[in-house]
Structure 1
């Protein structure tokens, strides 16, 4: 390798390293673009998640829809161990109809779970992988995974997996 190539290669490596920084998130190393304010994005994602939860528990279908990407590739999955049930909906039309029917069949609002204040977030440009746990007063412990997409500057849900464990008995 010539000196000129070695200097060029080193310079490009330094440019790349200067444009990124390393961050630790729950022991997992990730590379984050300098231009992204992670805390600001996390707060915006939290707001979307809490708005979607409030709308669902208050049975406000119109408000609930504002928090979702509305295209054929999104998914929503519920696994409920205590009830021994599994549901999967694929695409906005199916997800939207499922929730609309549920609200029509169960119009009374449910007790609101404690809203989220802590989530695990991995940002990928205009996408994010989000995980968290939540206590639901009617269902007990829920673990949630959400795929988020930034659409027109707002975070929206593009995928959801909810696993319900119920009320854990102390042994």
Structure 2
């Protein structure tokens, strides 16, 4: 009877330890799933940003427009240290009008900057805060911050701040 009790005790301990081991193995799976989800969202954001950039430089208004949230509360700001200029547009109507006027005044496509492959992203449910640097062949170094919103499963730009530093002498 004593041997039977010891066998039951050790079997219970082994099963308990094995059960604990399985529980700790779930964390890496959860972390892997979260990492995969983050990387998937980051890639989708990167695609939106690159497509918006290509459309802007190619003067493709319809594609450019499709990458933006069309809401009265969005903003677009340019700060250009190279020529000491500044512009700010608030709301979709103003931003859209600014871009349409710019395309009308500068109809020739510009060389597309090297497309992004690295961005810094912080995700917040259906929103993201993104920042990166980009070298523009006409304007030099630019640092950009974008506020993104996920609408109907698609990432769109809800805010943009571009700081242009120009070329180093």
Bin the TM-score by the shorter chain.
0.7 to 0.9
In structure 1, what is the equivalent of residue 76 of structure 2?
A: 76
Q: TM-score, normalised by structure 1?
A: 0.79
RMSD: 1.8
Q: Distance in 1 between matches of 2:131 and 2:35?
A: 23
Give how far 1:36 is off. Answer: 7.0
Distance 2:36 2:97 in 1: 36
Tell me which residue corresponds to 1:118: 118
Listed as ranges, the matches of 1:13-162 within 5 Å are 34=34, 37-162=37-162
Superposed displacement of residue 61, structure 1: 0.5
Mark the structure with the bigger radius of gyration: 2
The structure with more strand, counted as a fraction of residues: 1
Which 5+ residue runs of structure 2 have no aligned equivalent?
1-26
Separation of aligned partners in 2, 1:35 and 1:116:
20
DSSP 3-state at the match of 1:37: helix
Cα 1:84/1:35, change in 2 over 3 Å: closer
Compute the displacement of 1:168 (Å): 1.4
Structure 1: any 5+ residue segments left out of the alignment? 1-17, 23-32
Q: Which has the higher helix share?
A: 2
- The SS at the match of 1:43 is helix
How many pairs are equivalent? 141
